[in-house]
Structure 1
Amino acid sequence: MRRSLILAALVAVALGGFPAVGSATPTPTWHLTDTGTDARLRGLSAVSARVAWASGQRGTVLRTTDGGRTWQRSTPPGSETLELRDIEAFDERTAVALSIGPADQSRVYRTTDGGATWTEAFRNAEPTAFYDCMAFFDRNHGLAMSDPVDGRFRVLTTSDGGATWERVPDEGMPPALEGEFGFAASGQCLTVAGGRHAWIATGGGARARVLRSTDRGRTWTAHDTVLASGPSAGVFATAFRDKSSGIAVGGDFANPTGSVDALGVTRDGGRTWTRPETFPQGYRSGVTWHPFLRPVAIAVGPTGSDITIDGGVNWHQFDAGTFDTVDCGRDGACWAAGARGRVAALRLG
């Protein structure tokens, strides 16, 4: 996959819209790769057109360094029965993976040699904590979040690339709603932008909210969204192009074809949210902005993939396959991952 092809496809869409059937104008499509596994892959980190990492069931970590032609598999020691729901990679050698679950099932593993060896960097000791997602501002500074403990979401911080973690004081976190939690569906329930802004996506309670921080996770404010909420519904993922422009996706995973109140757009950093004019036809668990084409973003879920070319106001489905998560690298290469070991790169149709 080449950056020029991806950009050509997306520029064609942005400038000319989606062509009629039979048109010669190229449109984006997912090109599946052979990963050699049937594990469900909910963690994904796109480094470039050649390098991507994915993680998921049974301690599975996959890495490609040749654009998806081949994949190398590794498993952090002790994670064979764990769900690695999030992975954040900095290059072809360095990555940090998060396993989810109650108590000591929540762990962080780190590699600096492409997965040949892994170090356990964190193991949760709180019986009621359940870590869902991670995000990094840069190669050194990052955050991890847990479902509420004693009525507040728990946040960890690292300043050495995930090698060590410390707990952020609870005083800066607003109280959680009754039944509120985060969804570990795509590694995107915690996202960041710039050097200091971070967002936590929530659901499960009476209202679907986004918690917002402007000081690298030390203090947070809570804001209601326009997405539906309930025991299996809420905000599953957010993506912020910068500290102001963001998209929240979700819905109800128990009703994956329902599309009522499953997407929201913000222009003020998550303080207020509006519904789009047209929206994806179903629950969506992952979303990402394209790094070069500022109005372009992609959302994925079990019933298809959608693209917007106007900053989230209108959405068009371009693929009907199932994916859980999506990410674009700094060079413009976009990848998606999901059930049955599916990993795909965005290419021309």
Structure 2
Amino acid sequence: MTSMGKTRRTVAVGLGVAALAACLLTPAQAVPVGSDHESTRAKDHRTAGATIWNLKATGTDVRFRGLAAVSRTTAWVAGSKGTVLRTADGGRTWRNVSPPEAEGLEFRDVEAFDRRRAVVLAIGEGEASRILHTTDGGTTWTESFRNPDPRAFYDCMTFFDARHGLAMSDPVDGAFRILSTRDGGRSWHLLPSTGMPPAQQGEAGFAASGQCLVSSGPRDVWLATGGGATARVLHSADRGLNWSVAESGIPAGDPARGVFALAFDGRGQGLAVGGDYRTGQPSPQAAAVSRDGGRSWRPSTTPPPAYRSGVTWLPHSSVAALAVGPTGTDLTVDGGRSWHTVDTGSYDTVDCTADTGCWASGEKGRVARLEP
């Protein structure tokens, strides 16, 4: 591609993201983004009871806490009753590609590289925690890991690229346990725990959205915790061998409270969301921001009004992001300092792609795409 072609593409993507963020703003926050039409649309977009998400019929009522957005047209979701679905036409149709004899498994995370290659994680104690992978769009699946330790409980996965990835378990023998793959999920090996800080009493990860373990770039990975005295964020700069730890400031001190999801933008900016997942329980200070790669965190000045389980940066933006949970979707346009509710539908997780495709999924078979 020529330099002029690259410039035109960058400008076009930037304008698309600006328009996307403007369309999500509430009337009081709307700002011009390049044209009178766009500004008017942003002001008029939000009305009482409106939704920013375009629901896609999936034909099932299972809960999809696992989501992998590949593009605006291709996405994978994974959930309860061993269910895995895939779309390649923007959600108009979904193919049931669930692994055979998986109805008893609880899938909570899926990582996909394209429409043919994906890895899914099932959670649970002992052998209930499993990892399966496919290279033919879900026509066939191969189990590549079955947890042999009854003390381990795997929560989340992340991949640095199509070959290298990690999966994490709640603490065993006083430390979080990390699996590593170098072949796209075909095989896994346990990393040594010598570089892992000691876990707090009761500390664990939350298998709520597939975002308690996230990566950015070729080597950096972050792990979110809760349940202990403080909610912490652990960071490794060497693909999980050595870890540092920082307090997030999000309230913990209870098995139901802590950091549930993380997102990093590749420039050291991080977002953490969480709270108390119990229905009706307050979740004050349920979001925090890092500007130094997770070494330190400060609370959002205006956090989401309730528990949030998923978060993602809008593509190609250093200031705009979405957070989702059972009571709604919130938008930030100032890098996580303040959040504003833009939708009241129930979603558990959210993911965006480089071509400005944003997807969300959750209970009762809900999958949706952002279509401003």
Answer whether TM exceeds 0.5 for this pair: yes
How many Å separate the matches in 1 of 2:355 and 2:317? 12
Asked if the contact 1:7/1:332 (under 8 Å) is kept, the reply is no
Which has the greater radius of gyration?
2
Asked if the contact 2:66/2:107 (under 8 Å) is kept, the reply is yes
Change (3 A) 1:67 1:332: same
How many Å separate the matches in 1 of 2:162 and 2:366? 27
How many Å separate the matches in 1 of 2:334 and 2:267? 18
**Which structure is richer in relative contact order (CA contacts within 8 A, separation 6 or more)?**
1
Change (3 A) 1:107 1:319: same
Asked if the contact 2:249/2:299 (under 8 Å) is kept, the reply is yes
Map of 1:298 onto structure 2: 322
Map of 2:4 onto structure 1: none
**TM-aligned CA deviation for residue 9 of structure 1:** 2.6
Aligned residues: 345
Map of 1:158 onto structure 2: 181
Map of 2:171 onto structure 1: 148
Map of 1:211 onto structure 2: 234
Structure with the bigger percentage of strand: 1
**TM-aligned CA deviation for residue 61 of structure 1:** 0.3
Letter in 1 for 2:172: V
Deviation track 1:289-313 (CA, whole Å, cap 9, x = no partner) reads: 1121221110000000001111101
Deviation track 1:240-291 (CA, whole Å, cap 9, x = no partner) reads: 0125110000000014562302110001111111111211110000000112
User: Secondary structure at 1:8's aligned position in 2?
Assistant: helix
Asked if the contact 1:288/1:297 (under 8 Å) is kept, the reply is yes
Map of 2:357 onto structure 1: 333
Map of 1:262 onto structure 2: 286
Map of 2:151 onto structure 1: 128
Change (3 A) 1:30 1:216: same
Is 1:193 equivalent to 2:210 in the alignment? no
How many Å separate the matches in 1 of 2:222 and 2:280? 24
Is 1:77 equivalent to 2:100 in the alignment? yes
Is 1:9 equivalent to 2:20 in the alignment? yes
Instruction: After TM superposition, list the pairs within 5 Å mapping 1:55-70 onto structure 2.
Output: 55-70=78-93
Letter in 2 for 1:251: G
Letter in 2 for 1:9: L
How many Å separate the matches in 2 of 1:7 and 1:144? 34
How many Å separate the matches in 1 of 2:332 and 2:30? 15
5+ residue gaps, structure 2, are 1-12, 32-38, 46-50
**TM-aligned CA deviation for residue 332 of structure 1:** 1.4
Letter in 2 for 1:171: T
Asked if the contact 1:256/1:282 (under 8 Å) is kept, the reply is no
Alignment counterpart, residue 46 of structure 1, candidates 49, 52, 69? 69
Range 33-42 or range 249-258, more displaced? 249-258
Is 1:275 equivalent to 2:275 in the alignment? no
How many Å separate the matches in 1 of 2:24 and 2:349? 22
How many Å separate the matches in 2 of 1:288 and 1:62? 21
Map of 1:346 onto structure 2: 370
Map of 1:24 onto structure 2: 41
Letter in 1 for 2:263: A
Letter in 2 for 1:249: V
Deviation track 1:82-117 (CA, whole Å, cap 9, x = no partner) reads: 110000000011100000000000000101111111
5+ residue gaps, structure 1, are none
Map of 1:169 onto structure 2: 192
How many Å separate the matches in 1 of 2:118 and 2:67? 11
Deviation track 1:165-202 (CA, whole Å, cap 9, x = no partner) reads: 00000101111000000000000000001111101100
Asked if the contact 1:197/1:243 (under 8 Å) is kept, the reply is no
TM-score by length of 2: 0.89
Q: CA RMSD in A?
A: 2.0
Asked if the contact 2:17/2:317 (under 8 Å) is kept, the reply is no
Alignment counterpart, residue 138 of structure 1, candidates 142, 149, 161? 161
How many Å separate the matches in 2 of 1:187 and 1:233? 17
Change (3 A) 1:106 1:243: farther
Change (3 A) 1:141 1:40: same
User: Secondary structure at 2:303's aligned position in 1?
Assistant: coil
Map of 1:95 onto structure 2: 118
Alignment counterpart, residue 275 of structure 2, candidates 251, 254, 263? 251
User: Secondary structure at 2:121's aligned position in 1?
Assistant: strand
Instruction: After TM superposition, list the pairs within 5 Å mapping 1:215-226 onto structure 2.
Output: 215-226=238-249
**TM-aligned CA deviation for residue 5 of structure 1:** 6.6
TM-score by length of 1: 0.94
**TM-aligned CA deviation for residue 17 of structure 1:** 6.7
Change (3 A) 1:32 1:127: same
Asked if the contact 1:13/1:309 (under 8 Å) is kept, the reply is no
Percent of counterpart pairs with the same letter?
54
